[in-house]
Structure 1
Amino acid sequence: MENISNLTDGGDYFDDGLVFLCEYFDISTVEAAFFVLIFIISVIGNSLLICVLVLYEKLKNVTNLFVFNLACSDLIFTATLPFWAVYYLQHWIFGDFMCKFMAAAYFVGLYSSVILLTAMTVDRFVTVVLHNWPINNLKRQRCATGACVGAWIISVAASLSDAMKMQVYEEDMYYYCEPPGIVELGDYFLLPLLFFLPFAIVIFSYCAIIRTVLRASNRKRHRAVAMVLFIVAAFFICWGPYNTLLFIKLFHESEVCETEERLVMVFKICRIFAFSHCCMNPLLYMLSQKLRKHLLQLLYCKTVWRSNERSTVQTNTVIQNVVFTAHNSAVMLDDK
């Protein structure tokens, strides 16, 4: 993962054989604590969201299908956070295989999120702006399913390319999990392709969507578009500064320790903010009153209670029928 985060954390700057040692204020402990907190919130939130969608929504709605896949993507990304927390606190202690595996999971979660969000935006664009297209709900459902499958295939393929570059190596008694050597521009090819390009598609789509929605008077459609807009905007707001800083880093050179210190500090803060996105979707999705109702039902186990209640009613009905039949039979025998 460090091929997207290697920013002179050690504080050494090399130039023409000279070494300048910069004393940085280290926030690795704070960063690791935030990662653990994000991990806990994300696991609870996304697990509850998946349960609500599966038990109550049945994934028949296209938006719910996308959100379900996004929750799975966030959980995959979340699973890597404890490992990065330990890495930033100490060094990489999990071996070369886990280095590659965690990097692959990290990139699968990141790439699948951005592709799914872009597909969700395009679906909103087709539904709202191109509403005259001859497309029915069944065809739309199939397109959404194909988009989700394609997102996972592309994400896995792209992540394997990045993960194979990762390697555990020792330097000054510190074990790194990152690509050895100098990271060049070619290693960042997937960054503009799978972040800035989708970002441009999202901006174009929502400009057209907002213009169309403002002309309409359907409040239900307003709410549906607003919820998707919040989910998509949250991703790009969280990851935007981080990816922008990564891109700037490729062309940034500084011999001033104070400048390097500020850059490292801003980078780590942006990394915390970016990683916190994996616990945002459940909070945003619960803005829906219907979903909040389903969540309360899930927490109070009303589904189980209702099924038990139905079972009890059916049992009582059967017993009553048996008693009634037995009683009638007894009456008939007495008559004879």
Structure 2
Amino acid sequence: MNNDTMSNGGLSMGDGPTYLCDLFDFSTITGVFFILIFILSVTVNVLLLCVIFTYETLTNVTNLFVLNLAFSDLVFTSTLPFLATYYLHHWVFGDFLCKFVMAAYFVGLYSSVILLTAMTVDRFIIVVLHKWPNNYVRRQRCAVIVCVAAWCISIGTSFVEAINAKAIHASDTTMTCESISPGNGFQLGAILQLSLLFLLPFAIIVFCYCAILKTVLQSSNRKKYRTVAVVFYIVAAFFICLGPYNVMSLFEGVDAYQTCNVQQSFHIAYHICLILAYSHCCMNPLLYLLSQKLRKHLLHILPCQLLRKKEEERGPTTVIRTAPQTSAIILEMQAQ
């Protein structure tokens, strides 16, 4: 979460040849995007929470996961004003807030990935493994345990990251907030993060959703393709937002040994991937608010008479339900 380390106009990394390049300063653009992501994320996550608390039952397992995921996204989002200031200016908040922001960043990141994976596994069990004994009370208790475990794991892990975080004087007038890891700790940490927080969850998500799609495609209702599209969007958002940044993090600093053109390309690509990674905190609520049921509730909360009238004029709409007792997702026509 630190800016690229500049040394005499170029990037440096230990011993070895270093090319001195006048790289395009991407920090201002990144800071502006962080502000925009912060505004959008707070708006959509708060709206999602309002819909859940107003119209939905909190004892529902899916709503429980969505509720915790929204809070997780908000924790992650809370770091963006600090990081926007960091990129637009420099770190001005001192050592304590450096550790606090670093901890909040990893709490939001880890809990979001764990909860998203848990939601996928829950859907897989309900839709695909429908012949398993389905005790709703037991499933509800397991969901609560998973949510508590997600927060405990993410908070516990964040303490390690917070201890390594430190506000450092980059010059007499500027400071940076960086994670200080001895030796090859950063590279090892990046590899572990890529493996445990992206590759493993993504593999689980892809496997579960492939099985879900197979079940959906076996149903006779042609409206099932709407479900296929929603599933694709969820997986694509997870991969597009988090994938490139996790891969780019492995090569951070290696560009110091490359030509200026390569350094410039890597520098721009890294910041684009960084923006994509942070935008994930507003992607999940946007996808869930695309649900016709949640959109209907949202229109009752917001003063959108014209949009509400258009929604009512559509007449019957397709609602997707999961039935524990049946072998597939049931699609049925229901008047809104």
Q: TM bucket by the smaller chain?
A: 0.7 to 0.9
Structure-to-structure mapping, 1:134-145, within 5 angstroms = 134-145=133-144
1:288 pairs with one of 291, 297, 301: 291
Query: Does residue 1:42 correspond to 2:44, yes or no?
Result: no
Query: SS at 1:26's partner residue?
Result: coil
Alignment partners' CA distance in 2, 1:217 and 1:147: 34
**Pairwise CA RMSD:** 2.6
Contact persistence 1:31–1:268 (CA under 8 A) = yes
Alignment partners' CA distance in 2, 1:219 and 1:68: 31
Deviation digits for residues 38-80 of structure 1 (CA, Å, limit 9, x no counterpart): 1111111100100100110022332221111111111111111
Query: Does residue 1:255 correspond to 2:258, yes or no?
Result: yes
Runs of 4+ in 1 over 4 A off after TM superposition: 5-10, 14-19, 218-229, 250-253
Query: Does residue 1:72 correspond to 2:71, yes or no?
Result: yes
Shift of 1:20: 3.5
Which runs of 5 or more residues in structure 1 are unaligned? 303-336
Alignment partners' CA distance in 1, 2:140 and 2:304: 30
Query: SS at 1:172's partner residue?
Result: coil
1:270 pairs with one of 270, 273, 283: 273
Alignment partners' CA distance in 2, 1:241 and 1:83: 23
CA separation of 1:111 and 1:7: change in aligned 2, threshold 3 A: farther
Shift of 1:277: 1.5
Structure number with larger C-alpha Rg: 1
User: Residue 195 of structure 2 aligns to which amino acid in structure 1?
Assistant: P
CA separation of 1:122 and 1:7: change in aligned 2, threshold 3 A: farther
User: Residue 215 of structure 1 aligns to which amino acid in structure 2?
Assistant: Q
Query: SS at 1:176's partner residue?
Result: strand
Which runs of 5 or more residues in structure 2 are unaligned? 306-336
Alignment-derived partner of residue 177 in structure 1: 177
Shift of 1:221: 8.0
Alignment-derived partner of residue 302 in structure 2: 299
Contact persistence 1:7–1:264 (CA under 8 A) = no
Shift of 1:206: 1.7
User: Residue 187 of structure 1 aligns to which amino acid in structure 2?
Assistant: G
Contact persistence 1:227–1:285 (CA under 8 A) = no
* Structure number having the greater helix percentage: 1
Structure-to-structure mapping, 1:86-125, within 5 angstroms = 86-125=85-124
Query: SS at 1:168's partner residue?
Result: strand
Alignment partners' CA distance in 2, 1:147 and 1:221: 30
Contact persistence 2:42–2:77 (CA under 8 A) = yes
2:207 pairs with one of 204, 217, 225: 204
Alignment partners' CA distance in 2, 1:186 and 1:177: 20
CA separation of 1:16 and 1:201: change in aligned 2, threshold 3 A: closer
More deviation, 17-26/288-297: 17-26
Shift of 1:194: 1.9
Deviation digits for residues 71-105 of structure 1 (CA, Å, limit 9, x no counterpart): 11111111110100111122111010100000100
Alignment-derived partner of residue 131 in structure 1: 130
Shift of 1:219: 7.5
Deviation digits for residues 221-249 of structure 1 (CA, Å, limit 9, x no counterpart): 87667646533431222111111111243
Deviation digits for residues 245-276 of structure 1 (CA, Å, limit 9, x no counterpart): 11243766633122111111100011111111
Structure-to-structure mapping, 1:4-23, within 5 angstroms = 6=4, 11-13=10-12, 16=15, 20-23=19-22
Could you state the TM-score of these two structures normalised by the residue count of structure 2?
Answer: 0.81
Structure-to-structure mapping, 1:180-191, within 5 angstroms = 180=180, 184=185, 185-188=187-190, 189-191=192-194
More deviation, 106-115/139-148: 139-148
User: Residue 172 of structure 1 aligns to which amino acid in structure 2?
Assistant: S
More deviation, 24-33/226-235: 226-235
Deviation digits for residues 297-333 of structure 1 (CA, Å, limit 9, x no counterpart): 112499xxxxxxxxxxxxxxxxxxxxxxxxxxxxxxx
CA separation of 1:57 and 1:19: change in aligned 2, threshold 3 A: same
Could you state the TM-score of these two structures normalised by the residue count of structure 1?
Answer: 0.81
Alignment partners' CA distance in 2, 1:211 and 1:36: 40
User: Residue 140 of structure 1 aligns to which amino acid in structure 2?
Assistant: R
Contact persistence 1:8–1:264 (CA under 8 A) = no
Query: Does residue 1:158 correspond to 2:164, yes or no?
Result: no
Identity %: 56
CA separation of 1:292 and 1:17: change in aligned 2, threshold 3 A: closer
More deviation, 118-127/179-188: 179-188
Shift of 1:210: 1.5
Alignment partners' CA distance in 2, 1:110 and 1:242: 13
Contact persistence 2:10–2:22 (CA under 8 A) = yes
Alignment-derived partner of residue 234 in structure 1: 237
